[in-house]
Structure 1
């Protein structure tokens, strides 16, 4: 069978299965009864001066001591993985007192939710600009056998793969929509798909992409990614000042566009009102009036009126 080209898509070689384990309370009672029987045999053999009977009493004691090694306790959301001479022999997830083969080597694995916070990483986004991005990942163990036997240290594995997945997601998205427009308009810039969500405004689409990317990376280790959230997003310090000035310029331009659009509407309303009242203007005076009104309305300073005292031609 050919392995997938992408090693992240490989499934775990060890499939978790239920191991040999029984209710520990009943088993513990049986062990105590067996031990009591051994003590009784030894005591009666000593009283009757019967060495054979006394020696026979040590067998139940030894057996109960061996069986006692197979007793263990599992807390909620905890599993035990059994190995017999290095071979996987099954797992147990039943909560409470349990008994299994005393010759098994037992290892406990927690299935509780865990949180890994990724510190701010400096990466280049899809437009090539350096940014800082951090995230929080909530994960749990879904396959105790795979987590224990496929990976040497599954907690460290999750940390490393989380960093790698976040870098990949950040590198495949632009910081904001303005970067996409600039990159699309520049023949020398990196190709940035218009349809792809940006890191700043992408929301759930970016987060779900991070979850899928990370899940593909940790699936073989028996890890399930429950949730991920972007916790930090900013331009890198070396370009933060320049990007702030760009954003300020964009805000000024947007305000100017709104002012100009409003001024044009006001001039149109003024001319229409004059025409409704029967005041018609010659083209030259109409043009001058429009220019003066636009200067007054669009200017960022108060206009100084100039009164023409000359005779009207």
Structure 2
């Protein structure tokens, strides 16, 4: 069964306080060793007694062992933590805590110290070629803003959390492209990659967060940085978009023209400018629609009357 690692604070002591204590021990031990050596010299200079020599040798060995076992290994217990950085401690193969407070610290000198950056980082994915929900080949890429929030998970849950972020981000981008079409004919009923960027960004962020949770990573933002049709169909899709834009423009022109004609007929009727029968109304509507919807300037034909009476 996989072991779940929960982050907790490690044992630590202020580095300057520990440095003062270790220096004091080193000075005291050195003075005791020096005093022992001087005592041996005095004993050897006088009449040598075995009892005195044994006592002095025992004292010197004790302080020498103290200096060797306590003071010298203690130097490896010092470490520094920079802002937005964490140090993960491992002792004899066991996780013993994390230090996130910036400063100069001392801890178990035999613990292995591993630094983990908590700074915000960006991941720019390469341009991926994938089929969208409609099967059209597209090119897509994204930028992901992320940071480590649980250093223990980032160190022990995955082998390399930076590589893990890159692989899972590209997988999530492919999943996004398969779920949504590049463009949809009816944007209100079917969301697409191009039409709803905010919804796409939110979905991508949630998808990434679910994948990167195991590594102790928080996704702050994820947005598409590149979106285009694949080169082999780009020209054809461009013509389709141009045709759709032309149809939409024509529809808007016709709707506006019909509205203007209707308004004109209503004003003529309300002001009683002229009494039009159905045939004349039809002719007037036809002429107005031709003038309003034509792409070229229309030249009016003026009826000046007949040559014969």
TM-score (norm 1): 0.83
Residues 1:215 and 2:209 aligned together:
yes
Residues 1:43 and 2:34 aligned together:
yes
Residues 1:292 and 2:287 aligned together:
yes
Give matches, 1:142-153, under 5 Å: 142-153=149-160
Compared with structure 1, are the counterparts of its residues 238 and 116 closer, same or farther at alpha carbon in structure 2 (3 Å cutoff)? Answer: same
User: Contact 2:187 / 2:195 at 8 angstroms: preserved in 1?
Assistant: no
TM-score (norm 2): 0.84
Which one of the candidate residues 266, 274, 277 is aligned to 1:279?
Answer: 274
RMSD over aligned Cα, in angstroms?
2.6
1:40 deviates by: 0.4
Compared with structure 1, are the counterparts of its residues 270 and 209 closer, same or farther at alpha carbon in structure 2 (3 Å cutoff)? Answer: closer
Compared with structure 1, are the counterparts of its residues 281 and 222 closer, same or farther at alpha carbon in structure 2 (3 Å cutoff)? Answer: closer
Compared with structure 1, are the counterparts of its residues 221 and 96 closer, same or farther at alpha carbon in structure 2 (3 Å cutoff)? Answer: same
Deviations 1:125-167 (A, max 9, x none): 2222222222111111111111111111110000000111111
My pick for the range that moved more, 26-35 or 254-263, is 254-263
Tell me, in whole angstroms, the C-alpha distance in 2 between the residues paired with 1:259 and 1:312: 42
Tell me the residue number matched to 1:17.
8
User: Contact 2:125 / 2:143 at 8 angstroms: preserved in 1?
Assistant: yes
Tell me, in whole angstroms, the C-alpha distance in 2 between the residues paired with 1:202 and 1:220: 29
Which one of the candidate residues 24, 42, 47 is aligned to 1:33?
Answer: 24
1:237 deviates by: 2.1
Residues 1:263 and 2:257 aligned together:
yes
Secondary structure of the 1:72 match is: strand
Report which structure shows greater RCO (CA 8 Å, sep ≥6).
1
Secondary structure of the 1:48 match is: helix
User: Contact 1:135 / 1:229 at 8 angstroms: preserved in 2?
Assistant: yes
Compared with structure 1, are the counterparts of its residues 273 and 89 closer, same or farther at alpha carbon in structure 2 (3 Å cutoff)? Answer: closer
User: Contact 1:45 / 1:52 at 8 angstroms: preserved in 2?
Assistant: no
My pick for the range that moved more, 163-172 or 237-246, is 237-246
How many pairs are equivalent? 291
User: Contact 1:38 / 1:59 at 8 angstroms: preserved in 2?
Assistant: no
Tell me the residue number matched to 1:58.
64
